[in-house]
Amino acid sequence: MPNYKGHIAGGVITYLVVLYCIKYTNPSVHTVLQGLVFCLFGSLFPDVDVKSKGQKIFYYLLFLFLLYCLMTFRWEMFIVASFLGIVPLLVRHRGIFHKIWFLLGLTLLLIISIKSLHLTYETLLITNTCFFFAGCVSHVLLDQFFTKLKRYV
């Protein structure tokens, strides 16, 4: 199984493939880098259920988001985010976070949430969510490939 460096490499390759496939027309450097960051975060995310770089990044970002919710008095978002922060601690490794159907459902839930908020940068956020999903898929596929390879070696 690849370590976090292997998953980051897989995330970079996945990002380049997705970027080539969607054929951005004159994207800004900021947009391109933002997509890369989301794809890399997605490539580490499935390991959020075990002590890993992905888990450290996830809880760091969750902490910042919870602080934001407290400072802006968004109690509902704080409660939901707190609950979601507990879920990775309750599941086994390579369980639900390594299932494509769950990751797709999570992505669709994020897209529906973004659409319902009618945000200014809705298209960019949805694109970044798709990059995140592509990174998650690269992680799962790399794990499956190396698991099968290990059986034959």
Note the pLDDT tens digit of each residue in 112-150.
Answer: 887 877 778 888 888 899 999 999 999 999 998 877 777
Q: Please state the domain count of the chain.
A: 1
Residues in the chain, overall count: 153
DSSP 72: T
Cα 33 from Cα 142, distance rounded (Å): 23
Would 135 be classed as within a structural domain? yes
pLDDT digits (tens, 9 = 90+) for 25-74: 777 888 889 999 999 999 999 988 888 787 888 899 889 989 988 998 88
* Locus of tokens 């996830």: 58
State residue 75's pLDDT score.
Answer: 87
State residue 38's pLDDT score.
Answer: 93
Residue 137 amino acid letter? V
Range of the domain at 38: 4-50+92-152
State residue 1's pLDDT score.
Answer: 57
Would 71 be classed as within a structural domain? no
Would 134 be classed as within a structural domain? yes
Does 21 score more than 70 pLDDT?
yes
Would 8 be classed as within a structural domain? yes
Would 43 be classed as within a structural domain? yes
DSSP string, 73-101: T-HHHHHHHHHHHHHHHHS-TTSGGG-HH
State residue 123's pLDDT score.
Answer: 84
Cα 77 from Cα 29, distance rounded (Å): 31
Would 85 be classed as within a structural domain? no
The candidate with the shortest Cα–Cα distance to 105, out of 67, 138, 133, 75, is: 133
Would 114 be classed as within a structural domain? yes
Would 58 be classed as within a structural domain? no
pTM of the model: 0.83
